[in-house]
Structure 1
Amino acid sequence: MQGKGLPELAVIGWPLKKTFSPIIQNAALKSSGIEWKYEAIPVPPDEVDKFFLKASKEMRGFNVTMPHKPRAYELCDERDNFADVCGAVNTVVFRQIKGKIKIFGYNTDGLGLMRALSERKKKTISSALFLGAGGAAAGGIAALLASGTGQIYIANRTLGKAEDLAESFRRNFKASKIAAIELKGEHILEVLKEVELVVNCIPDEGAASLEDVLTEDGKGKIFCDFSYGEKPGKLYLRAEKLGYRMISGVEILVWQGAYAFEIFTGVECPVESMKNALKEEIGSWWLGC
């Protein structure tokens, strides 16, 4: 951040080793004739507040990824209803209101998941298991509960974190059953038998250790992977082999990025330009799952 002017748009996270956001957002900007730049900016947790201050003076806005979504939520002056429900922000916009800069926060993670499900003619899901309890999980859970999902399981290595997230949703969605479980094989095996949707929110290195746990026939069920890379991860490949209908994290990235683009610019997102840019970069394995 030091000694360099900031771009109009960016994605921040830590350590931010892998992100395709600049690829899709710059493609959409170019296609729309908007001469802004979008960059990836690694921001350590102890510098997030400082970055917000600097960015408010120089940028239009930015996306937020792990682990900064909860802190971004706290730093916004105003948030949309969806961000309020899940307590996490992945899209930040600066607007001048009566001569003062105000920070607006949004969460498009859940919208991205719901759009991917609607592409598969699935507008409602009866039950779901989330692997992980971070910001991406919060966004996805909020979207499903708002759509009427009746049962949500949240599995996490730290049970207390899963329980805290579950309790935050129980207050707003009293008609749904929301349970926290440990991220252990025996617990997951029992839940897999009954859920319609499995959503992985754990980075591939950690998710790979669950490969052997995924043993149930996936026919008639959906597996969604919020984690993504140039190639499908081991857990993704395992689910695909078992017959799950697949939603790649790359596809989720495109849809949540499209909603963010429209928030940033106020114009309709050229989604095909985003998809084409990614196909050039990593191929098309993630399409038509």
Structure 2
Amino acid sequence: MLTGTRLAVWGDPIAHSLSPVLHGAAYRVLGLDWTYERRQVPESLFDEFLAGLDESWRGLSCTMPLKAAAFAASAERDRRAELTGAVNTLLLEPAGIRGFNTDVGGIVRSLREEGVDRVDDARIVGAGATAASALVALAELGATHVEVVARRPLAVAPLEELGDRLGVVVLPVPFDAAGHAAMPVTIAALPGGARVAPASVEALRDAGGLLVDVVYGHWPTALSAAWEDAGLRAVSGLGMLLHQALLQVRVFVGGDVEAPLAGEDVILAAMREALAGPVGG
């Protein structure tokens, strides 16, 4: 049984993170006197910092660039973590560290809030770590064909391999493609502030559909602005952030990412309200 009451989000950079706001709101509703803080941790020092934690610590949220290091540090991982090779949640149990990927569930739940309960075909823009979570999320929603737009086609190779494991055909498409097939959903998994050539933005926008951009601190992005200018629906990564944080709360409180907490609707509402103040992972 865990007795620790300390939690934190680690990353580099980390000052922008809204995780303390979200988790603080949840634990107040739950009546838990737990602390949740931010800590800037370079990837090169992750193992050293982790080894320095004592029994007062309960768990960690890990953002970029620490998700691969958190994966390696986990003695046990959930299926989503194993598929993506990324862990963003560590439960520090005496018997060993358990790792979870709640980004996948965050994407699934945020898409469902936008009315997307099932999708056959979809597009991902970008081929980094978040793209892997997006691909698993789309597969869970039934996708069988996913187009991945990337600057370097070779960067899509790991996603093609992951697609094979998921039963999803992944098609690499260059950014400078003249046109794109219409898709009901596009997930932009580019880093905040990433530059996209205007012609590429226009070609992606012309394909239409819902845009879910994982960015929230650099809003609007070039893609979201183009979508909105054309009267199309574009949503930020705040929904993903909210729902992945709720899944983390499940882990830290109950040890089970799949088991809803008692009064979870009230917890989620409090977290959502907390997001309405600041805008800043």
TM over 0.5: yes
1:44 to 10, 21, 42: 42
Contact 1:70–1:135 under 8 Å retained in 2: no
Count of residues in Structure 1 that have an aligned counterpart in Structure 2: 266
Q: Which moves more between the two structures, 33-42 or 119-128?
A: 119-128
Post-superposition shift, 1:146?
Answer: 2.9
Distance 1:132 1:103, change over 3 A: same
Structure 2 CA distance, aligned partners of 1:252 and 1:163?
25
Post-superposition shift, 1:107?
Answer: 0.8
Contact 1:69–1:89 under 8 Å retained in 2: yes
Structure 2 CA distance, aligned partners of 1:51 and 1:133?
29
Instruction: State the match for 1:139 in structure 2.
Output: 133
Instruction: State the match for 1:127 in structure 2.
Output: 121
Structure 2 CA distance, aligned partners of 1:197 and 1:116?
12
Map of 1:1-289 to 2, 5 A cutoff? 8-55=6-53, 57-97=55-95, 102-170=96-164, 172-174=165-167, 176-182=168-174, 184-186=175-177, 189-191=178-180, 193-206=181-194, 208-215=195-202, 216-217=205-206, 221-229=209-217, 231-266=219-254, 267-268=261-262, 269=264, 270-282=267-279
Q: Deviations over 1:91-141 (max 9, x none)?
A: 1111123xxxx1111111111111112122211112222122233221121
SS of structure 1 residue aligned to 2:278: helix
SS of structure 2 residue aligned to 1:63: strand
- What TM-score do you get using the length of structure 2 for normalisation? 0.86
Post-superposition shift, 1:158?
Answer: 4.0
Q: Which moves more between the two structures, 104-113 or 148-157?
A: 148-157
Structure 2 CA distance, aligned partners of 1:261 and 1:58?
17
Residue type at the aligned position of 1:209: V
SS of structure 1 residue aligned to 2:39: strand
Structure 2 CA distance, aligned partners of 1:203 and 1:257?
19
Post-superposition shift, 1:144?
Answer: 1.2
Structure 2 CA distance, aligned partners of 1:242 and 1:17?
33
Distance 1:159 1:68, change over 3 A: farther
Q: Which runs of 5+ in 2 are unaligned?
A: 255-260
Post-superposition shift, 1:213?
Answer: 2.1
SS of structure 2 residue aligned to 1:121: coil
Two-structure CA RMSD over aligned residues (Å): 2.3
SS of structure 1 residue aligned to 2:271: helix
Post-superposition shift, 1:65?
Answer: 1.1
Instruction: State the match for 1:3 in structure 2.
Output: none
Instruction: Give % identity.
Output: 28
Post-superposition shift, 1:85?
Answer: 1.4
Post-superposition shift, 1:230?
Answer: 7.0
Residue type at the aligned position of 1:224: V
Post-superposition shift, 1:168?
Answer: 3.0
